[in-house]
Amino acid sequence: MAQAGLSNLPPLEERPRPRNVSREEALQLEGHRHACHVMLYAPTTAKLFERVPIRYIVLMMMRFDGRLGFPGGFVDTRDSSLEEGLNRELQEELGSSFDTLAVTEKDYRSSQAREFPQKGVTHFFTKELTLEEIETIEKEAVFAKDHGLEVMGLVRVPLFTLRDGIGGLPAFLSNNFIGNSKSQLLYGMRTLRLLREDQIQDAMWASQNIQF
Residue 3 has pLDDT above 70, yes or no: no
Distances (CA, A) of 55 to 120, 133, 178: 34, 16, 26
Residues 37, 143: Cα–Cα separation, whole Å: 20
- The partner residues of 56 in beta bridges, in order of sequence, read 43
Contact, 190 vs 197, CB < 8 A?
A: yes
Query: Confidence band (pLDDT; 50, 70, 90) for 10?
Result: low
- Give the mean model confidence (pLDDT) for residues 38-58: 94
pLDDT at 96: 85
Q: Is residue 208 part of a domain?
A: no
β-pairing, 47-48 vs 56-63, is unpaired
Residue that wins the pLDDT comparison between 199 and 23: 199
Confidence of residue 55 (pLDDT cuts 50, 70, 90): very high
Cβ–Cβ under 8 Å, residues 160 and 72: no
pLDDT tens digits, one per residue of 84-93: 999 999 999 9
Within-domain flag for 125? yes
Report if residue 190 sits inside a domain. no
Of 32 and 204, more confident: 204
**Cα dist. 160→5, 28, 38, 99, 130 in Å?**
40, 40, 21, 32, 20
At 26, which helix (H) or strand (E)? helix 23-28
Q: Is residue 74 part of a domain?
A: yes
Query: Can you tell me the mean pLDDT for 195-199?
Result: 96
Tens-place pLDDT, residues 141-191: 999 999 999 999 999 999 999 999 999 999 999 999 999 999 999 999 999
- Rg (C-alpha) for the chain, rounded Å, is 18
Q: What average pLDDT does the chain have?
A: 89
The answer to whether the Cα torsion of 184, 190, 191, 193 is positive or negative is positive
By the 8 A CB rule, do 110 and 38 touch?
no
What is the number of domains present in the chain? 1
- Residue 118: what pLDDT? 83
Look at residue 85 and tell me if it is in a domain. Answer: yes
Residue 51 belongs to a domain: yes
According to DSSP, the β-strands at 151-156 and 56-63 are antiparallel
pLDDT tens-digit readout, 90-140: 999 999 888 788 999 999 999 999 887 788 899 999 999 999 999 999 999
- Residue 121: inside a domain: yes
Q: What is the pLDDT of residue 212?
A: 59
Label residue 16 by pLDDT band (50, 70, 90): low
Res 12 pLDDT > 50? no
CATH at 115: 3.90.79.10
Is residue 179 one of the residues assigned to a domain? no
The pTM (predicted TM-score) of the whole model is 0.88
* Bridge partner residues of 42 (DSSP): 57
Owning domain of residue 104: 17-158
